[in-house]
Amino acid sequence: MPAHCTAIGCRQRRTTESKTQGITFHKFPRDDELRREWEKAMRRKDFTANDKSMLCSQHFRSWDFDRTGQICRIRTGVIPSLFNFPDRPRQIPPEEKRTIRTSKTSIKAKESLPLPILQKVRKKKPRFNIALDHNYSLPSSPAALKAKFSAAAARLWSLEKQKRNALVRERRARTTLMAVLHKTLCEPCV
118 pLDDT tier (thresholds 50, 70, 90) = very low
Q: What average pLDDT does this structure show over 74-102?
A: 68
Domain spans in the chain, listed from the N-terminal domain onward: 1-86, 141-186
Q: What average pLDDT does this structure show over 172-181?
A: 89
Percentage, residues of the chain above pLDDT 90: 14
pLDDT at position 149 over 60 = yes
pLDDT at position 175 over 60 = yes
106 pLDDT tier (thresholds 50, 70, 90) = low
Q: What average pLDDT does this structure show over 54-59?
A: 85
- pTM value is 0.43
Of 64, 62, 1, 2, the C-alpha closest to 29 is: 64
Q: What is the pLDDT of residue 154?
A: 92
Tell me how far apart the alpha carbons of residues 47 and 79 are, in angstroms, rounded to a whole number: 16
Give yes or no for a contact between 6 and 81, defined as CB atoms under 8 angstroms apart: no
